[in-house]
Amino acid sequence: MDALLERLSSAQILAVISILVGGIVALAMIIAISKFQFQLLADETILKREKQQSELALRERLIERAAASGESIESLLALDQVPVEPDSMNTDLARRFGMLDASAGDIERTLPLALAADAARKKMIIAFMGEMTECGAESATVLAAVRAMCKPAPLARGEKPVFTESVA
């Protein structure tokens, strides 16, 4: 070891020490990031488990209450199919638009169209935006598709168009 240190200049020794210290720091960062990600995953799993347990307890109480009052179980099973309230859909739409990396002008042009849509179309737009965000689609592409989804359906034969006034 002494012979190796005698052959190296002070700059080379400093470089070797820097490389060793840099490797140790990089390893420590990797371990810290991994630990953080595992903790985040564990926390998320615990939250999902708690949510499932609370939903299960709620369903059990509903079934017990229905059995005591004589309600049909079919009506309880249809609770998942109850439509979402329009205010929560509008909130969800606004939140999803806020997550997009697009200019304020593009969002201001598209969001009112989505908010003016009927409940079924809003639900479809929310699902579409969720899928496209997960896929990593560009914001401009998502906004263009949402604008297309908000266009009114073509009129059937004999149906008259409905005109609305817009105030600019």
Burial of 114 (0-12, 13-18, 19+ CB in 10 A): buried
Give the dihedral sign, CA 9/11/15/21.
Answer: positive
The model's pLDDT over 97-131, given as tens digits with 9 standing for 90+, comes to 888 888 888 888 888 888 888 888 888 999 999 88
Tokens representing residue 17 in the block: 């020490």
Cα 1 to Cα 18: distance, rounded to the nearest angstrom: 18
33 neighbors 41 (Cβ within 8 angstroms): no
Of 91, 123, 109, 120, give the one whose Cα is nearest residue 166: 109
What are the Cα distances from residue 122, in Å, to 6, 44, 138?
A: 75, 28, 20
Q: What is the pLDDT of residue 39?
A: 94
- Judged against a pLDDT cut of 50, whether residue 29 lies above it is answered with yes
The model's pLDDT over 30-80, given as tens digits with 9 standing for 90+, comes to 999 999 999 999 999 999 999 999 988 888 887 887 777 776 666 666 655
Q: What is the pLDDT of residue 77?
A: 60
